[in-house]
Structure 1
Amino acid sequence: MRGAWFRRFGTADAGARRLFCFPHAGGAASAYLRLSQALPPAVEVLSAQYPGRQDRRLEPGVEDIGVLADLLAEQVRRESGGRPYAFFGHSMGAVVAYETARRLRRKAGSGPFHLFVSGRSAPSTGPRRSDQLLGDAQLRAEIRRLGGTGSRVLDDPELMEMIMPALRADYRALAGYAWEPGQPLDCPLTVLVGDADPVVTVEEAAAWEGLSTASTAVRVFTGGHFYLDDRTQDVAEAIVSRLGAGARGESAA
């Protein structure tokens, strides 16, 4: 893959805690721009830019979650520079973050010190019907059903034409994904979900607890699948709270 994999927004403090963010299906690195602006300079956001979108639109999309996680794990190792880091993934990005963390633990013996998973049921609960979409008409209908700022592109044919290749690739990846049991993670998990999410219930989201030997916290926000659009500041505060004193720019002593 040719292009750079992560985008940085804003200026972070020296020694800031790094938060690698993974976008939803059809999403780009810019999906985390508002979150990065809501977080303090003590948290440095590195948002993944999957192939096939925005400045990587001429590259073919990756149609396999495992392959994408393999590629991202290697890039995270390069970007981390040996410093501690956390992961945040929304929707498809939650699965990508989880599988990337698994690979880092298995191959490198280390991984994120915290994993935030948002808007997604635990992979161990089995395949999601909403992942098994056929054809562009079903993809468009799903975008409309999920709502959020992404649904606005439905009214712009030129924008839709630009994002459809990435959306097709991402949903093919989701349709082909099957969770494989293995050694659980050992980092704490924070599970975030909207109380009116049409594709994942709070109970399904809470099942992430079984995928790590460390503690799991569940945070429920008012909103649907893209609750993050309206509750960005609340989510930022939840992230800072879970990352600890270092994320607030305070001494851990």
Structure 2
Amino acid sequence: MGEELPYAESLQQLVQDILQGLGREVLSAKPFVIFGHSFGSWVAYEIVQELARRASDGWPQPLKLYVSGYRPPQLCGSRHDPDRIQPALGALYEDEFWEHFERRYGRNPDLQVDYIRSFVVRTLQADFTLLEAYVPSSLEPLAVPLCACCARGDSRARPGQLSAWAKAEIIMV
């Protein structure tokens, strides 16, 4: 395998890297929406916030933000995490990490192969580290419409938490 790229040190750094990779020209090509699922909901939220900050420099704005399967940014932190047994997975040793990962998300047959586990564990732990340290860059209402959804019975995104996404949206009348 080639040289491993460093992981982002914050969710905001990840957003900067994503937008640098996409560039204003790519985003300007056609109207677009932003979608984030699970932890990606916070990434998508931060992308929309950063694009709003860059609007005066000519960066295009999405038509809408779609998020699914995750609580809103104002409910970040372990005290709002539905996992009361082990809310922080990022710093666990590998065996302990997999034990708590499976308890939280279920047993995935594809992740029972040692080679696959060793290939993805560092990336998953880096993602959880970002997630667990996340503090929103802004809680200002978004200037774009937002649609938040979750699956019935999803223990990670409860309807009561999901409805709090409405506080992130400016309602246009």
- Shorter-chain TM-score: what band? 0.7 to 0.9
Secondary structure of the residue that 1:116 maps to in structure 2? strand
Amino acid at match of 1:74: Q
Structure 2 stretches lacking a partner, 5+ long: none
Matched length: 159
Q: 1:166 to 1:214 in 2, by over 3 A?
A: same
| Range with bigger deviation, 94-103 or 178-187 | 178-187
Q: Could you say which residue in structure 1 is the equivalent of 2:162? A: 205
Between 1 and 2, higher relative CO (CA 8 Å, sep ≥ 6) is seen in 2
Cα distance per residue 1:133-179 (max 9 Å; x no partner): 2313343134323138xx22331110000001111111111121112
Q: Could you say which residue in structure 1 is the equivalent of 2:144? A: 187
CA contact (8 A) 1:146 1:198 kept: no
- What is the TM-score of this pair, normalised by structure 2? 0.80
Q: Could you say which residue in structure 2 is the equivalent of 1:84? A: 31
Q: Distance in 1 between matches of 2:160 and 2:150?
A: 10
Q: 1:84 to 1:138 in 2, by over 3 A?
A: farther
Superposition map of 1:2-21 within 5 A: none
CA shift at 1:58, angstroms? 2.5
Amino acid at match of 1:132: A
User: What's the Cα RMSD here?
Assistant: 2.4
Match of 1:122 among 69, 72, 89: 72
Q: Does 1:214 align with 2:161?
A: no
CA shift at 1:60, angstroms? 2.1
Amino acid at match of 1:60: P
Q: Could you say which residue in structure 2 is the equivalent of 1:60? A: 6
Which consecutive segments of 4 or more residues in structure 1 shift more than 4 A? Answer: none
Q: 1:142 to 1:93 in 2, by over 3 A?
A: farther
Amino acid at match of 1:206: S
Q: 1:171 to 1:73 in 2, by over 3 A?
A: same
Structure 1 stretches lacking a partner, 5+ long: 1-54, 216-253
Secondary structure of the residue that 1:103 maps to in structure 2? helix
Amino acid at match of 1:101: V
Q: 1:78 to 1:166 in 2, by over 3 A?
A: farther
CA shift at 1:108, angstroms? 2.7
Match of 2:41 among 94, 118, 133: 94
CA contact (8 A) 1:140 1:154 kept: no
Q: Could you say which residue in structure 2 is the equivalent of 1:9? A: none
Structure in which a larger fraction of residues adopt strand: 1
Cα distance per residue 1:59-90 (max 9 Å; x no partner): 22223101001122233424223421101111
- What is the TM-score of this pair, normalised by structure 1? 0.56
Secondary structure of the residue that 1:172 maps to in structure 2? helix
Secondary structure of the residue that 1:194 maps to in structure 2? coil
Match of 2:50 among 103, 112, 131: 103
Identity value in percent: 25
